[in-house]
Amino acid sequence: MACSGDWIEAEKKCFYFSLDTRNWSASKSFCSSHGSELAQIDTQNDLEFLKNHTGTSSHWIGLSSEEGNPWKWTNGTIFNSWFEIKGNGSFTFLNANGVHSSRGFVDIKWICSKPKYL
């Protein structure tokens, strides 16, 4: 089964790139109400694919951390720090420049991800 409608196929996942802008938690709610999660990035290929697609616009991804706790994906998995997160915030976003962190309030675009085969 390929990815449907507005979703873009990449290896084992389907990605949705928003046109609209929202804060981190509203973006997270959007993805979960569409049977997906804020983008989870598992491979170098995924990361490169997403960076190429976002260009200079910033997009929320599903990596966050509560004060003093490790970075976690929205499904609770602990992030093993295989890529660098720049900045001092608790919510992450991505663009061609890399992965950065923010306080989560800013209205930017977002990316949802879901497995290709369900």
Partner 1 sequence: MKFTSSKFKISTPPKAYMIYFISPDSWDIFCVFNVRKQHLLFHCTDKNTDFPQKVNTSSLTGNNYKCSSDWLLNQGKCYWFSTSFKTWKESQHDCEKLQAHLLVIHDLKELIFIQNTIKPGHLGWIGLHITSEGNLWTWIDEHFLDPQLFLVIGPTDEKSCAIMTGSQVYSEDCNSRFNGICQKDTV
Which residues contact partner 1 by CB under 8 A? Answer: 19-21, 54, 56-59, 86-89, 95, 97-98, 100-103, 105-109
Residue (98 or 115) nearer to partner 1, CB: 98
Residue (82 or 105) nearer to partner 1, CB: 105
Residue (11 or 107) nearer to partner 1, CB: 107
SS (H, E, C) 32-58: HHCCCEECCCCCHHHHHHHHHHHCCCC
The CA distance from 90 to 60, in Å, is: 12
State in angstroms the smallest separation of the CB of 108 from partner 1. Answer: 5
State in angstroms the smallest separation of the CB of 107 from partner 1. Answer: 5
Q: Is 65 exposed, middle or buried (0-12, 13-18, 19+ CB in 10 A)?
A: middle
